[in-house]
Chains A and B, each alone.
Chain A
Amino acid sequence: MIVEFLLYSLVFFFITGVLSPFFIRNNKLINYIAHGMAALGSLAAVLCAIIVFSTGKLQILTSLVMFGEAVYVRVDYLAAYFLLTVGIVGCIVSVYAIGYSREYLGDTCRYRVMAALYNAFLLSMILVVCVSHIVAFIIVWEIMALTSFLLVNYEHEKLETSRAAFIYIVMTHVGTAFIITAFFLLANKAGGLAFLRLIEAAGSLDVWTKNAVFLCALIGFGAKAGIVPLHIWLPRAHPAAPSHVSALMSGVMLKTAIYGLCRFYLDFLGTSFAWWGALVLVLAVVTAVLGVLYALMEHDVKRLLAYSSVENIGIILLGMGAGLLFSAKGNGTLAALAWAAALYHVLNHAIFKSLLFMGAGAILQAAHTKDMEHLGGLIKRMPYTAVWFLAGAAAISALPPFNGFVSEWLTFQALFYLPQSLAGVTGKLFSAFLLAMLGLTGALAAACFIKAFGIIFLAKPRSSKAAEAEEANKPMLVSMALLASLCLVLGIWPEYLLQIISKVLTGINGINAGLAFAGTTWQAAEVHAGTTGGSLQMPVVAALFLVGAIVAWGLFRVYGREQVHKGETWTCGIVPTARMEYTAIGFSKPIRLAFKSILRPQHETVVDLSPNRYFGRRLSYHVSIVDIFSATYRPINAGIIRIAQLMKPIQAGSVQLYIGYITAITVVALILSTWW
């Protein structure tokens, strides 16, 4: 009952949020009402998820009849888990939006549309995980795609932005086409469009349908999640949107694609095949490594974060792939471990990536640039933003005791046990390769976020804009602080979330969640197959870390207080300036050279001799890196253009001709229909 009430009130809040910008005059008031409604609605979603988990019942609500069939809104554990993710992040981002949107208040017309779209976007993401009917799902999915497209296109007068939005809308619709195909292949066998029917029919699918549906879902949702090579829209579109929308897109929207994959692979397809897992693992590892490599090479903060999202989707998929492999081989306990790793990372990434995007938004608003080469020294101007950004950076670099470490550790464990389901040297080598690559990803991610934080916040400001930056306003700081503390809480006490995840995984075919989480704590996951696995007690790790700090403090103070003398950084007798500091491009250069066969950097040095021939010449150095996979799209582009050229004669532009076409098609359709 209460869940129904919450869901209705949630929809009511969001609809109010959508409508309010068009009925209220005062822009400031709109800011509070629209985003406040979004925050309330998200809060209702969180409550709804919590109630579902605590009462432990599957909630089904019949709401309306469409296409002769009842369309269900159904919140089961899986949906509730993603509802929790969307809700938590959505609520906090909405608070942030109250502060962040102040900058946009001047542009009345556009601002109102943005506030309305923001609500619609958030609502569509909440509904995507709740509806349980193919048609309803696709409608909501499309609303999500379109609203986010419009939000990406917010600054449409910029050529770059409108191109990014265009690529995004094309890619997302390619994805949608595959998703629809996957759904209808299933619906055809199940004889119904409701998700419950599809789940019932899961056992009776033949091999070919299963494989086809698996691939279609992988491509369809993969395009939305940003799996390499379908990721090309992501680093373009996410940075183009206003920062609070970027936070939602990277933090939450990608997770709805993961939800789709989970729904298909856990519910609709029944038992999996081993090659599915292997394929997902290979794609995942490529996605993770390439994503983080490109992230490290970026010097635009928001693009860097977007590429890092690609990487994290790769890490999530590593867990999922291992899970598919384990359940295909009948190793239910390990499958639960792997899926738990994936699901844990879903929430983790949602939290720290939206935190980092919010930080990037604060920087953008304060210094009016996203280019790291023009930033620097912000830790003095924006001390709080710096702390919260640092927390996010530490979490995403998987440093203990933050939450990123927990999910990365679980993923490491899942991959480590891979040889138990893949016998022989192949399994051993595959597992070793994946572990090494995950290690590489971790090290690269740490390097990437050291670079991001170090260049943006530390040393001297590199431009006057950075030197005059001002601290973000209160709602922004409060929301960042909330997410940062969540990072810490989920890192030190992971067992609560793991218990929730074990509920999600209970009762799913091929996964033995009950055994994996038998004890009161999650260390029970180690008990399997007669070997003792690694175990981890995060509070203990955190405590040991703290003891280390105390010992260090003790040593520091053995001889009493120190006196600190100020002395300028030694630069061989010259007054140090920001130009002597390491740049973002310079900082990542050794790694760029080490991976140059993958990255293929194009660099040029421009020497300007005009001021003086011998001394004080102006030098500038440019590096451009083109995503290797964007080249793979060129033949496809060329092919489409060629087909369009061929079709040109048909499109002559005369109305009579078009009426002729319509008539001809109608006649053909009539003839065909008589044959049926």
Chain B
Amino acid sequence: MEEITIVITSIAYAVVLIITAPLVAAIIKISKARMQNRRGPGLLQVYYDLFKLLQKDSMVSPTASWIFAVAPFVYFSGAFGAATLLSGGDLFALLYLLAAGRFFLALASLDTGSTFGGMGGSRELYISVLVEPVLLLTMLTVAARAGSTKLAAMSAVAAITPFSLPYLLAAMAFLIILVTETGRIPVDNPDTHLELTMIHEAMVLEYSGRRLGLIFLASACKQLVFILLFVVLFLPWQPGELSPVMAAVWLSAKVLITAVALAAIETSTNKMRLFKVPGFMGLAGMLALLALVAQ
């Protein structure tokens, strides 16, 4: 009985996450626009876009097979599953659920036989190969202290850890991962449709209509999952004991700050060459290792 309650609450969490995820994407977009002296879209524009997409019909290449049709669903389920595991699941399970989504999306990118798709898939996997070991190293700085890879145990330990230099290093390392995993400048550019620079956008270039809507929603959800991981594990500080409502407000404030920070990073740097990414990841890896040793 208890287990079922846990499962239902975590599904509820995930639903909340899915609903708010586009909002966070919108906040990033708007604050980026403001920083670049543009007006930017309204706060609800993302939702309008989403509903528009969910009403539209699809254009599908005759070259594509059922993989192309199924991939958005798997990608979405992966992001959704990761969101459910956020409250009480296991770290490795969360990462591998996201990997399952990426697996299918990369396959779909090859399915239409377009050069752009293949290029996007190839680059996405290249980035994922570089990110994966560094991501684990960074997570390990918290998990090793918690003695567990359960996210609940990790966040509990993070909450009682006093501020220290290793913490700062680990947080910086994870910020780099966050930028990379969410496909943002300087690694990828979510706004580009220029063939030489796109990675994630190139992968999903052939999608239209409802499936594109699902992919968009899943990407936003994945982004929020990573932002939450960052906020909960690497920015755990809060003023004393808080009531659940205040804790939620506090958490939202931190998410908001992170979103604005992401926009600031995107505005202040330019995209790096694809083959400079290993060095960037190496930097994150070094920071994580330092944090691990200094603990």
Contacts and interface: CB of A to CB of B under 8 A. Distances in A.
B214 A394 contact: no
Contacts of B123: 590
Given A432-B289, A436-B134, A582-B110, A534 B275 contact: no
Contacts of B10: 544
A540 interface: yes
A593 B91 CA distance: 30
Given A429-B293, A450-B106, A544-B85, A562 B96 contact: no
Interface string B88-115: 0111110011011011001101111111
B54 A555 contact: yes
Interface stretch (A22-30, A173-181, A396-404): A396-404
Contact of A458 (B57, B67, B79, B89): B67
A555 B126 contact: no
A436 B60 contact: no
Contacts of B7: 540, 543-544
Nearest to A393: B103
Given A419-B144, A458-B65, A548-B76, A567 B60 contact: yes
Contacts of A586: 118, 122
Contact of B113 (A439, A459, A587): A459
B292 interface: yes
Interface in B125-182: 125-126, 128-137, 140, 143-144, 146-150, 153
Interface size class on chain A is 35 or more
Contact of A409 (B77, B93, B118): B93
A559 B81 contact: no
A388 to B, nearest CB: 14
A545 B58 CA distance: 25
A187 interface: no
B77 A436 contact: no
Interface residues of B, number: 92
Given A435-B136, A552-B77, A553-B73, A399 B99 contact: yes
A454 B106 contact: yes
Contacts of B186: none
Contacts of B114: 569-571, 576, 580-581
Contact of B103 (A399, A536, A549, A555): A399
A100 B190 CA distance: 48
A617 interface: no
B115 A460 contact: no
B164 to A, nearest CB: 16
Interface in A435-494: 435-440, 442-444, 446-447, 450-451, 453-455, 457-460
B11 A544 contact: yes
A581 B136 contact: no
Contacts of A581: 110, 113-115, 118
Contacts, number: 275
A622 interface: no
Contact of A563 (B57, B62, B134, B147): B57
B63 A544 contact: no
Contacts of A665: none
Contacts of A458: 65, 67, 107, 110-111, 113
A379 interface: yes
A443 B129 contact: yes
A564 B84 contact: no
Nearest to B133: A436
B206 interface: yes
A interface SS class: helix
A447 B106 CA distance: 9
A440 B118 contact: no
Given A549-B77, A556-B210, A534 B84 contact: no
A184 interface: no
A547 interface: yes
A582 B61 contact: no
Contacts of A409: 90, 92-93, 96
Contact of A582 (B65, B119, B146, B211): B119
B121 interface: yes
B169 to A, nearest CB: 14
B233 interface: no
Contacts of B137: 432, 435-436
A400 B98 CA distance: 10
Interface in B261-294: 274-275, 278, 285, 289, 292-293
A453 to B, nearest CB: 6
Contacts of B66: 379
Nearest to B77: A548
A265 B92 CA distance: 29
A399 B96 contact: yes
Contacts of A124: none
Contact of B78 (A390, A453, A548, A580): A548
A589 B55 contact: no
B65 A532 contact: no
A551 B130 contact: no
Given A435-B140, A567-B61, A552 B128 contact: no
A155 B86 CA distance: 54
A630 interface: no
Given A455-B110, A565-B59, A576-B113, A559 B103 contact: no
Contact of A551 (B76, B107, B278, B293): B76
A594 interface: yes
B72 A552 contact: yes
A582 to B, nearest CB: 3
Nearest to A550: B77
Given A440-B132, A532-B153, A535-B150, 5 more contacts: A443-B131, A543-B7, A567-B59, A567-B61, A594-B129
Interface of A: 377, 379-380, 390, 394, 397-400, 405, 408-409, 412-413, 416, 419, 425, 428-429, 431-432, 435-440, 442-444, 446-447, 450-451, 453-455, 457-460, 526, 531-536, 540-541, 543-549, 551-553, 555-556, 558-559, 562-571, 576, 578, 580-582, 586-591, 593-594
Interface of B: 3, 7, 10-11, 14-15, 18, 54-63, 65-67, 72-74, 76-81, 84-85, 89-93, 96-97, 99-100, 102-103, 106-107, 109-115, 117-119, 121-123, 125-126, 128-137, 140, 143-144, 146-150, 153, 206, 209-211, 213-214, 217, 274-275, 278, 285, 289, 292-293
20 contacts: A390-B67, A409-B92, A416-B149, A435-B136, A436-B136, A450-B107, A458-B107, A458-B113, A532-B147, A544-B80, A544-B84, A556-B54, A562-B209, A569-B112, A576-B63, A581-B113, A582-B119, A587-B110, A593-B275, A594-B275
